[in-house]
Amino acid sequence: MPDRAPQPVDRQLPTEEARDLISLVREIAQREIAPYAAEEEDAGRFPRELFGLLSESGLLGLPYDSEHGGGDQPYEVYLQVLEELAAARLTVGLGVSVHSLACHALATYGTKEQQVEHLPAMLGGGLLGAYCLSEPSSGSDAASLRTRAVRDGDDWVITGTKAWITHGGIADFYTVMARTGGEGSRGITAFLVPGDAEGLSAAAPEKKMGMKGSPTAQVHFDEVRVPDSRRLGEEGQGFAIALSALDSGRLGIAACAIGVAQAALDEAVAYATSRRQFGRPIADFQGLRFMLADMATRIEAGRALYLSAARLRDAGRPFSKQAAMAKLLCTDSAMQVTTDAVQILGGYGYTADFPAERYMREAKVLQIVEGTNQIQRMVIARHLAGPESR
Ligand SMILES: Cc1cc2nc3c(=O)[nH]c(=O)nc-3n(C[C@H](O)[C@H](O)[C@H](O)COP(=O)(O)OP(=O)(O)OC[C@H]3O[C@@H](n4cnc5c(N)ncnc54)[C@H](O)[C@@H]3O)c2cc1C
C-alpha cells in the first residue's frame, strides 16, 4: 500500500477571490507556520512577528467592512481560513479568532467616530487584540463579574482583575467588560482600553497543558483611566455585546477544532498506511479502517455544521443556537479524533516525536474556551425549552 500524503481539503468556496485567499493562507501556513509549530510550542514562544505578516496580508480583519480596513469576506470564508491556520498551529488560528472577537464590539456597536479612529489600526494596522470577560471568580457565570468602572468627569476609572486572557500582557488593545451599575447582566458596560494604559499590567502567563505558545494571563486594572469616548455601546449594554461577540467567536472555535482534527486525521492516515505489523500496513486492519472512517465522518459533519451556521449569519438570520451546536459538536469531535489519532500511532503517538499528542492536548482546551461545552448545551436547550424555571 503506498504512503498517503495528505491532500488539501476540497473546500466549497463562494467566489474566485475566496479560492485565491485560501491558496494564500495555505502558502503562509506551509512556509511560515507549520515548520516552526512544534519547536515554538515546546519553547512556549508566541510568534508576534507572524501576526504582523498576517495583518499585512489582510488576514486580521477578514470578516469586517473594507470601509475601515477589513476584508469584506463572508463568515463562511473567514472560518475556513481559521481552519487552515489552526491545522498548521492552533496558537495562530485561535489567536486570529480571539483578535476578531476583540474587534467585534467596536465594529458592531461603536459609533462612526470611534470606528474611523480605531478600526483601521485594529483590522489591518498590525495591532493585536484581547477580549476580557472572564475573572478569577466568574467564568461560566460571566454576568457576575466584579471588575468595576466608575465615572469621573469625562473619564471612567477601571479597577479589577480579568483572568485567562488570551494575549494578556502582549495585546495592543483590550475589549473589557466592567461593572458600571448594579448586580447582574444589565450593570455591565464595554470599554476599549489601550495596551499601554497606565495601571494596566499582566501576571506571568499560565502554565498550560497545550497551546503553550499562546500567552494566557491574568490582567490587572489598577485605576486605569479611559475617556468616555472609549466606551463601546450604551451603559449597561456590555453583557449583550459580550454575548453577541461570543456567538460569532464560537464559530471561530468550531472552525479551529476542525482544523486540529483534520491535521490529526491526515497524520493518522499517513502513519497507518506506512507502518507495517503482521507483514501488512496497519491500515489493512478493519479495526483501524473503521476508526479512520469514523474520524473522517466526524470532521465532515463538524465542517458542514459550522458552515451552515456561518451561512445563516451571512444571510443576516439568527444563528446563536447553531453556533452553540457547532462549537459543541466540532470541539467534542476534535477531542475524539485527536485521541484516536494517538491510538493509531501506538507508542509513537504518545511521544513528542509526532504531533498527534500535541493535537490531543490542543483539542482539550477547545471544549473549555468561549463557554464550556456544558454551557453550549444550556444555550441549545434554552432555544428548545425556554429558560430554566427557578
Ligand atoms: C487557554 C484559555 C484561554 C482563554 N481565553 C479567554 C479570553 O481570551 N477571554 C476570556 O474572557 N476568557 C478566556 N478564557 C476563559 C474561559 O472562557 C473560561 O475558562 C470558561 O468560560 C470556563 O470558566 P471557568 O474556567 O471559570 O470554569 P467554571 O465556570 O468554574 O466551570 C467549572 C466546571 O463547571 C461546569 N459548569 C459551570 N456552570 C455550569 C452549569 N450551570 N451547568 C453545568 N455545568 C456547569 C463547567 O462546564 C466546567 O466544567 C480562556 C480559558 C482558557 C483555558
Unique residue bearing C-alpha cell 479551529? 256
Distance 375 CA to ligand 1 centre (A): 9
Euclidean distance between CA atoms 341 and 289, whole angstroms: 12
3-state secondary structure of 149: strand
Q: What is the pLDDT of residue 250?
A: 98
Indicate whether 319 pLDDT > 60: yes
> Residue written as cell 472609549?
230
101, burial (CB in 10 Å: exposed 0-12, middle 13-18, buried 19+): buried
pLDDT tens track for 43-53: 999 999 999 99
Nearest CA to ligand 1 atom 22: 139
Round to whole Å and give the CA distance between 350 and 352.
7
* pLDDT band for position 3 (cuts 50, 70, 90): low
Please give the grid coordinates belonging to residue 114: 470611534
- Answer whether 219's CB lies under 8 Å from 200's CB: yes
Give the pLDDT band of residue 352 (cuts 50, 70, 90).
Answer: very high
Indicate left, alpha or beta for 198 from its phi (over 0: left) and psi (-120 to 50: alpha).
beta
Phi, psi of 221 (to 5 degrees): -115, 110
Give the per-residue pLDDT at 378.
Answer: 98
Cα–Cα–Cα angle for 40, 44, 45, rounded to 5 degrees:
60
Q: What is the pTM of this model?
A: 0.98
Name all residues whose Cβ lies below 6 A of ligand 1.
98, 131-134, 139-140, 164-166, 208, 216, 365, 368-372, 374-375
Residue written as grid cell 486605569:
224
Pocket test for ligand 1, best of 134, 167, 188 (most atoms within 8 A of CB): 134
Nearest CA to 106 out of 135, 77, 131, 141 is that of 131
Lowest mean pLDDT among 162-171, 289-298, 304-313, 381-390: 381-390
pLDDT of 2 strictly over 60: no
Identify whether the C-beta of residue 33 lies closer than 8 Å to the C-beta of residue 85: yes
- What distance in Å separates the CA atoms of residue 248 and residue 313, rounded to the nearest whole number? 8
Is residue 65 scored above 70 in pLDDT? yes
Alpha helices in 131-229 (DSSP H): none
Between the CA of residue 326 and those of 181, 187, 211, 250, 332, what are the distances in Å? 34, 30, 21, 8, 10
Ligand 1, closest atom to CA 378? 42
Topology of the domain comprising 240-385: Butyryl-CoA Dehydrogenase, subunit A; domain 3 (1.20.140)
What number does the ligand 1 atom closest to the CA of 373 have? 47
Contact status, residue 179 vs residue 145, Cβ threshold 8 Å: yes
Mean pLDDT of the chain: 97
Indicate the helix (H) or strand (E) that contains 157: strand 155-166
Is the fold of 129-236 the same as that of 240-385?
no
Domain 16-124 indexed as CATH 1.10.540.10 = yes
Q: How confident is the model at residue 166 (pLDDT cuts 50, 70, 90)?
A: very high
Gap between the Cα atoms of 3 and 270, Å rounded? 6
> Cα separation of 44 and 208, whole Å?
10
Q: Is 370 left (phi over 0), alpha (psi -120 to 50) or beta?
A: left
Of 207, 213, 218, nearest to 130 by C-alpha is 218
Q: Which residues are catalytic?
A: 370
The domain 129-236 is classified under which CATH number: 3.30.950.10, 3.30.1330.10, 3.40.50.11540, 2.40.110.10? 2.40.110.10
Mean pLDDT of 67-95: 98
The residues spanned by each domain of the chain are 16-124, 129-236, 240-385
User: What is the distance of C-alpha 172 from the center of its chain?
Assistant: 18
Angle value at C-alpha 196, between 191 and 201, nearest 5 degrees: 85
Q: Checking DSSP bridges between strand 216-227 and strand 231-232, what pairing results, if any?
A: unpaired
